[in-house]
Structure 1
Amino acid sequence: MPRIPNEHPTLWIKSAKSRSLQGKTIVLAVTGSIAAVRTVELSRELIRRGADVHAVMSEAAEWIINPMALHYATGNEVITAITGKIEHVEFFGNMGRADLLLVAPSTANTIGKIATGIDDTPVTTFATTAVGAGKNVMVVPAMHEDMYNHPALAANIEKLEGWGIRFVGPRIEEGIAKIAGNDEIVLEVERMIGSNSLRGKKVLITSGATAEAVDPIRILTNRASGKTGIELALEAYRRGAEVTIVHRNMAGICGINEIHAESAEQMTNAVLEELGKGCDVLISAAAISDYTLEAAETKIKSGDELVLSLRPTRKLIKEARDAHPEIKIVGFKAETGIGEKELIGRALQTLEYTGLDMIVANDVSTGGIGTENNNVCVIRPGRKEHLNFIGSKSMIAVALMDEITAIFSSGEKY
């Protein structure tokens, strides 16, 4: 990839992970918390998603981390004082060029100053300007737990949230209100200033493998890892959707509602219950067991020949479509050892039989189950050409969400 003349070498990683923040300018405001040491990698994670990052520091922050470190991390000169360039207006005045003021980490002192309009550091001057201009502000607290529990701090946070300021974290561990993880911060930044193409939509996703009990110890399951479902949930959340994921392996994804379901029956019941509460799209990415059995009440003795009697499970997509003809439904079709023509043919049969709005098909004999990458074919009714996507599951999730978003934005019914 050609380099821009005089470009800072740090920017060579720009958009290396995604383009979710491409074209966005973020000012990272760093205050005097020991968590300031985390801002080098945080800056680079934002850049890896396409953002242009500028740092502003309080004097107290300079006792923790040298401005040169953030110059390296962002590729831009660090603002440590307000000068005749009136930097706070350049970035956050009414015609300012920044999209977000990210105060990370934020001390209790800085939160209090923002809440009372005090601007005696470069960081708080930026905050006063951004709040006054109605610009996006996100605050990531980091301090000792006792400080975080102070009633005045709680009142200040409530006040700032009432102004539309977004708080992320902290994590309470070891008597410390620790700064949120970089993955969580970046995800919330993407949601706040990203495309918002699914804002106001409710997205329900099934993910991973289900498991059918043989006895209290043994199960029948499959090799699905759930990586695709989780990446789809994250991408829908980035785009502003209200996301619920039903799966067996709870992942603790911040901002996303997770429902545990072990068996095919549990997953089907959980999905139908959630659909009854209102939903715009169901993405059925789970590898739901096709067969189940009557589980033994006690452990089956090992060593003897064992014959299991299997019976078919309910078909989630068919029941969901019959009960809710108005929602969009995306299905997945996994096959093994067949050619592309046969794969597409079988996917079309499933699509037509179940009334899907889109189906994602792949031959898992060449990869896809339990791997980081996949090769999928996307089929929609009425479209003559089918789309193929090859790459990481996170990249494929972006492509699939583009397709789903297009259905909503066009108002098209397939």
Structure 2
Amino acid sequence: MPQIPNEHPTLWIRSTRSESLKGKTIVLAVTGSIAAVRTVELAREFIRRGADVYAVMSEGAGWIINPMALHYATGNEVITEITGKVEHVEFFGNLGRADLLLIAPATANTLGKIAAGIDDTPVTTFATTAIGAGKPVMVVPAMHEDMYNHPAVMENIEKMKGWGIGFIGPRIEEGIAKIAGNDEIVLEVERAIGKRTLCGKKILITSGSTAEPIDPIRILTNRASGKTGNELALEAYRRGAEVTIVHRNKLGVTGINEIYAETAAQMTDAVLGELSAGYDVLISSAAIADYTIDSSDRKIKSGEEGLKLSFKNTRKLIKEARQAYPQVKIIGFKAEAGVDSEELLKRARQTLENSGLDMIVANEVSKEGMGTDNNSITILYSGNKDNISIEGSKSLIANVLIDEITDMLTSKGEN
């Protein structure tokens, strides 16, 4: 990115990963947990997504990590005391310029003080001001498990949740309530203060490959990795949607509902069952098997004469979903191999029209797409809108697709 005169070199990484937090100001409040050492990289992850980050530290945090480290990490002077500049009001008064107070890590001591309205450290003073002004506050606890399980700590957390304060983590491991991972923290912050264009929407996604059993050991499957489906689920979640993903992988994001489905039949049944709960969009990105067999209950013995299998067609998920739920917007995927661009788009258009889809994503996968981190796709629409071609990372592709789905869900997109 172009360098700005007198800009701190740390800020040269701004928006290098995405612009999900562009224009947002985050105050990272650090307390005296050993997990404070994680905040240097956490601050930089926010900057990589476009945010401006300022750090405020308690005295205890200064025993763990030097303020110079957070000056380097954020590119801004670190607040270690409240001065005549009334920094807490500058950022979180009624006219304050910050979008979020993120307390990470938060000790049991700090939680107790915030819950009681005590502000005897810079961090708790910031918290009192932000809460009093109704500004967004998120907390990332970190302490020993026994401390976390103390009834007063539990009560304090529930009390603060009742004030609308969001909590991220902790992870209970090795007798410690560990600070949540940076990926989880960043994702929850993006959801809290990011674009929020899908708030109130329910998105159902199928992802990855299915696996048809031959016997208890062998399966028939394909090369689909589920990376695109995972990125779509994450992006929809960032935008504020309620997200369910059906697959045979494991995404492991607390806020995303995951349903395990191995076979094509299991995936179809799971999707139809979920759609009955009322969804706005079905994104069918899974590479669902076209054929299955009657599997053996026992391992088929190896032999020199080889093995002959008799295949039968699987049910068509999109066809059944469209018939049962005509009001749901459905996005399909069309993967081909060994065809030119013209033939790819012709086949995709046929599938779009024959299946009653609202949108279809076409890609030729003989060189790239299945199992890779990057892809080249073309989006086709049911109306007169021009096709869109995208080449790049699957996270970039997911971002553009969710943009298009958001537009489709608006009244303008539905007319």
Normalising by the smaller structure, the TM-score range is over 0.9
Post-superposition CA distance 1:312-339 (Å, at most 9, x none): 1000001000000001000000001111
d(CA) in 1 for partners of 2:299 and 2:401?
A: 43
Name the structure 2 match of 1:313.
Answer: 314
Q: How does 1:358-377 map to 2 (within 5 A)?
A: 358-377=359-378
d(CA) in 2 for partners of 1:217 and 1:149?
A: 43
SS of match in other structure, 2:81: coil
User: Superposition RMSD on alpha carbons, in Å?
Assistant: 0.9
d(CA) in 2 for partners of 1:340 and 1:385?
A: 16
Counterpart residue identity of residue 243, structure 1: V
2:50 aligned with 1:50: yes
SS of match in other structure, 1:244: strand
Name the structure 1 match of 2:79.
Answer: 79
Offset at 1:411? 4.7
Counterpart residue identity of residue 386, structure 1: N
Counterpart residue identity of residue 163, structure 2: W
d(CA) in 1 for partners of 2:251 and 2:20?
A: 22
Aligned 8 A contact 1:357 1:413 in 2? no
d(CA) in 1 for partners of 2:359 and 2:108?
A: 49
Post-superposition CA distance 1:236-262 (Å, at most 9, x none): 000000000000112322210000000
Name the structure 2 match of 1:217.
Answer: 217
d(CA) in 2 for partners of 1:400 and 1:123?
A: 39
SS of match in other structure, 1:185: helix
d(CA) in 2 for partners of 1:230 and 1:79?
A: 38
d(CA) in 1 for partners of 2:285 and 2:270?
A: 15
Counterpart residue identity of residue 321, structure 1: R
Name the structure 2 match of 1:301.
Answer: 301
Name the structure 2 match of 1:151.
Answer: 151
Name the structure 1 match of 2:267.
Answer: 267
SS of match in other structure, 2:335: strand
2:405 aligned with 1:404: yes
d(CA) in 2 for partners of 1:324 and 1:411?
A: 22
Post-superposition CA distance 1:80-113 (Å, at most 9, x none): 0001111001100001000000000000111111
Counterpart residue identity of residue 362, structure 2: A
Name the structure 1 match of 2:337.
Answer: 336
Counterpart residue identity of residue 308, structure 1: L
- TM-score where L is the length of structure 1: 0.99
Counterpart residue identity of residue 202, structure 1: K
d(CA) in 1 for partners of 2:101 and 2:290?
A: 50
Moved more, 347-356 or 295-304: 295-304
Counterpart residue identity of residue 56, structure 1: V
Counterpart residue identity of residue 208, structure 1: G
Name the structure 2 match of 1:196.
Answer: 196
d(CA) in 2 for partners of 1:36 and 1:200?
A: 35
Give identity over the alignment, percent: 74
- TM-score where L is the length of structure 2: 0.99
Post-superposition CA distance 1:90-147 (Å, at most 9, x none): 1000010000000000001111111111000000000000000000000000000111
Aligned 8 A contact 1:203 1:282 in 2? yes
SS of match in other structure, 2:206: strand
Aligned 8 A contact 1:211 1:262 in 2? yes
d(CA) in 1 for partners of 2:175 and 2:307?
A: 53
SS of match in other structure, 2:283: strand
d(CA) in 2 for partners of 1:188 and 1:256?
A: 11
Post-superposition CA distance 1:342-387 (Å, at most 9, x none): 1111111111111111100000012000000000000112235210
SS of match in other structure, 1:330: strand
Post-superposition CA distance 1:173-228 (Å, at most 9, x none): 11100000000000000000011100011100000000000011000000000000
Name the structure 2 match of 1:351.
Answer: 352
SS of match in other structure, 1:20: coil
Q: How does 1:103-118 map to 2 (within 5 A)?
A: 103-118=103-118
Offset at 1:66? 0.1
d(CA) in 1 for partners of 2:414 and 2:101?
A: 40
Name the structure 2 match of 1:395.
Answer: 396
Counterpart residue identity of residue 75, structure 1: G
Name the structure 1 match of 2:208.
Answer: 208
Name the structure 2 match of 1:69.
Answer: 69
Name the structure 2 match of 1:379.
Answer: 380
Aligned 8 A contact 1:14 1:50 in 2? yes
**How many residues matched?**
414
d(CA) in 2 for partners of 1:133 and 1:398?
A: 33
2:106 aligned with 1:130: no
Counterpart residue identity of residue 79, structure 2: I
